[in-house]
């Protein structure tokens, strides 16, 4: 294993110390292991907390800031945050208007966020993200997994909360974005966790994992590597099958690298995907290409498509100021 | 080789088509192979053109937009753009106030930008970037290589040009930023070009290339892999030796991934580097952590340190709106 680390058991804590040093606009509590925007809690503003295992950066810590999350609670690598950590984040952002928990659908995450919500002194609305249409249940979940759409849910709910909307409305828009989204991923190689020291699975030089999860958990099938244009079709087909789109629909498209794939290749894939969506009569209203919801150093990519309306686009375009996503501010 | 490509010979063109589809705010000319901001040329504004081999994305095409570059001309992978391409970019951004060429110091780039400047119908100021203090000459250069500081030169010169400053002033600030900057890189693995189909060099599982270039060309030494804190010292030492900093100096720090290194590890390195700079009495005024000047899927990182004053910080903070770097707009 070749990594820029000191001690495999201390990677998350040291990375948090690095975030604290790099981003003075954030409050990083190394003991509670939470990242909080500096001006939280804001009286009267709905707080938004997300979290999950580390190894998916910039998700979630990189999305803390005005217009997106109020706090993130990163667990150890590919490990759910503990209830105390989630509770500390919830308290830190409680401005008296309630708190939304954005929870990716993994068994451990769901359980620990529930425990924290029960102990919270404020009203909590939990929003489950389960956009990955590759499999219905996996080694990590009951039901679909939460992957790329988490970014869209956090961005759009964050924008509405920033405007001062009430708890029910923020939770409702978050659920709506999840319901409108579908994702699907392909892995060319596995990522390596510092603790394991070797790739999470082995793939022969000419094979890929289709419908892979963000922890390297298996997907739909192991198939032969083939040209980008065929892989794009392999990804677009199940996404459109799971959430059919009328011709004329407007969408936000996220072409997301899983950590080890160069931007050059993501743009090749975007080219192919945009042709396929155009052929289906779908209009790409906004897009994002880059490494946003990753799986350590996995070579691979995911597609997320979210059907939008004018109001969702307005919230998408609203200013955001985080380490990992920033515009208009 | 496992990559999201169709044809190794067509990767750059297809990625450009993807950029065109993803960024309607850019004009991408697939025949000339140039990327131009949509409102160019702007009458009376100094145009800024950069370019170089592809494989370093988001550099340079991802830095085209208001507040940074007016155009980029990407060559084939790790191959200089041709003079005609550079000339087309120069013409596309010529608003009558002259054009600055920002050229990374590689023999082919320098020669081709010179040829284009000779044929340009406008006044051209060429600015050489040679910030990599690892080696004085390499397989690709006479003198030092241009690496991470290119981002800082492009951002700061771009901000001054956006304000309407004249050609001489824009070129002067670009040269000043380069003179104030030093960079140094470490590779854990080599990147793989689509044409070669295999890593550019072999490194044993316990060895690293210290002082590596962004094309995988050799650096100072091949050494043993060791903990992040020792690697940070190995990088900071030559940077501070090459451009000594008085205690109390303010700097911009770029901790840059070379394409295949997770953000988590870059933040671990930022933590270590910030401690070493603090111990040297240096104050980090601004920082950037992420994959900005890459070498395909190389696992590795580079450090760039640029000593700044209030005026350079003001220009750094000015709004920028590009695919790869965006704030305040």
Question: pLDDT at position A5, please?
Answer: 98
Chain segment A96-129, per-residue pLDDT in tens: 999 999 999 999 999 999 999 999 999 999 999 9
Which pLDDT score is estimated for B229? 98
Asked if the model's pLDDT at residue B139 lies above 80, the reply is no
**A274–B18 CB contact, under 8 Å:** yes
The ranges assigned to domains in chain A are: 10-180, 181-317
CATH number for the segment(s) A181-317? 3.30.1180.20
**Which class would CATH give A10-180?**
alpha beta
- Three-state SS for chain B is CCCCCCCHHHHHHHHHHHHHHHCCCEEEECCCCEEEECCCCCCCCCEEEEEEEECCCCCCHHHECCCCECEEEEEEECCCCCHHHHHHHHHHCCCCCCEEEEEECCHHHHHHHHHHHHHCCCCEEEEEECCECCCCCECCECCCECCCHHHHHHHHHHHHHHCCCCHHHHHHHHHHHHHCEEEEEEECCCCECCCCCCECCCCCCCEEEECCCCCCCCCCEEEECCCHHHHHHHHHHHHHHHCCCCCCCEEEEEEEECECCCHHHHHHHHHHHHHHHHHCCCEEEEEEEECCCCCCCECEEEEEEEEECHHHHHHHHCCEECCCCEECC
Closest residue on chain A to B295 (Cα):
A262
CA separation for the pair A296, B225 (Å, rounded): 19
pLDDT tens digits, one per residue of A256-295: 999 999 999 999 999 999 999 999 999 999 999 999 999 9
Residue B101 appears among annotated catalytic residues: no
Q: What CATH topology corresponds to B11-177? A: Rossmann fold (3.40.50)
As a whole number, mean pLDDT of residues B129-134 equals 96
How far apart, in whole angstroms, are the C-alpha atoms of residue B47 and residue A178?
43
Write out residues 266-325 of A within 8 Å (CB-CB) of B.
Answer: 266-272, 274, 284, 287, 289, 291, 294, 296-297, 299, 301, 321, 323
% of chain B residues with pLDDT over 90: 94
Which of B15, B269, B271 is the closest to A264 by Cβ?
B15
pLDDT > 80? residue B140 = no
Q: How far apart are CA B4 and CA B9, in angstroms?
A: 13
Instruction: Provide the shortest C-alpha distance from residue A78 to chain B (in Å).
Output: 13
Per-residue pLDDT tens digits for B236-279? 999 999 999 999 999 999 999 999 999 999 999 999 999 999 99
> Cα dist. A262→A63, B78, B80 in Å?
22, 14, 19
pLDDT over threshold 80, residue A139: no
Instruction: List, for residues B17-48, the tens digit of each pLDDT value.
Output: 999 999 999 999 999 999 999 999 999 999 99
Interface contact flag, A262 B12, Cβ < 8 Å: no
Q: A221-224 and A207-210: which strand pairing?
A: antiparallel
CA distance B138 to B18: 33
- Say how far apart CA B204 and CA A298 lie, in whole Å: 20
Q: CA–CA separation, B251 vs B309, rounded Å? A: 8
Among B125, B69, B118, B71, which residue's Cα sits nearest to residue B97?
B125
Q: Of A216, A189, A260, A186, which is closest to residue A3 (Cα–Cα)?
A: A260
Mutate to test the interface with B, among A28, A267, A272, A322 (most CBs of B within 10 A): A267
Mutation pick from A18, A224, A296 vs chain B, by most beta carbons of B within 10 Å, is A18
Q: Which residues of B touch A258 (CB under 8 A)?
A: none
Most A CBs within 10 A among B18, B276, B319, hence the mutation to make, goes to B18
Is B228 touching A (CB cutoff 8 A)?
yes
Question: Touching check for B115 and chain A: CB below 8 Å?
Answer: no
φ/ψ region of A311 (left if φ > 0, alpha if ψ in -120 to 50, else beta) reads alpha
């Amino acid at each position: 294993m070749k990594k820029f680390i000191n001690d495999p058991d201390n990677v998350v804590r040291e990375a948090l110390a690095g975030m604290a040093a790099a981003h003075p606009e954030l409050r990083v509590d190394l003991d509670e292991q939470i990242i909080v925007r500096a001006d939280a809690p804001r009286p009267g503003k709905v707080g938004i907390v997300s979290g999950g295992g580390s190894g998916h950066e910039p998700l979630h810590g990189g999305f803390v800031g005005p217009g997106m999350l109020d706090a993130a609670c990163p667990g150890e690598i590919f490990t759910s945050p503990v209830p105390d950590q989630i509770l500390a984040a919830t308290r830190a952002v409680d401005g008296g208007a309630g708190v939304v928990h954005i929870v990716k659908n993994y068994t451990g995450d769901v359980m620990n966020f529930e425990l924290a919500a029960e102990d919270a002194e404020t009203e909590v609305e939990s929003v489950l993200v389960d956009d990955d249409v590759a499999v219905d249940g996996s080694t990590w979940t009951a039901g679909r997994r939460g992957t790329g759409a988490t970014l869209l849910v956090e961005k759009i709910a964050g924008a509405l909360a920033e405007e001062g909307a009430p708890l029910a409305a923020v939770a409702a828009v978050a659920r709506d974005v999840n319901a409108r989204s579908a994702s699907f991923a392909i892995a060319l190689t596995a990522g390596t966790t510092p603790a394991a020291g070797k790739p999470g699975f082995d793939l022969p030089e000419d094979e890929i994992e289709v419908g892979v999860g963000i922890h390297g958990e298996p997907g739909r099938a192991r198939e032969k590597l083939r040209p980008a244009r065929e892989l794009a079709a392999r990804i677009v087909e199940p996404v459109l099958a799971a959430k059919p789109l009328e011709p004329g629909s407007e969408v936000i498209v996220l072409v997301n690298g899983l950590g080890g794939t160069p931007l050059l290749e993501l743009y090749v894939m975007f080219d192919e995907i945009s042709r396929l969506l155009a052929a289906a009569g779908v209009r790409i209203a906004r897009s994002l290409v880059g490494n946003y919801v990753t799986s350590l150093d996995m070579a691979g990519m995911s597609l997320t498509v979210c059907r939008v309306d004018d109001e969702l686009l307005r919230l998408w375009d609203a200013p955001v100021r985080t380490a990992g996503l920033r515009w208009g501010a």
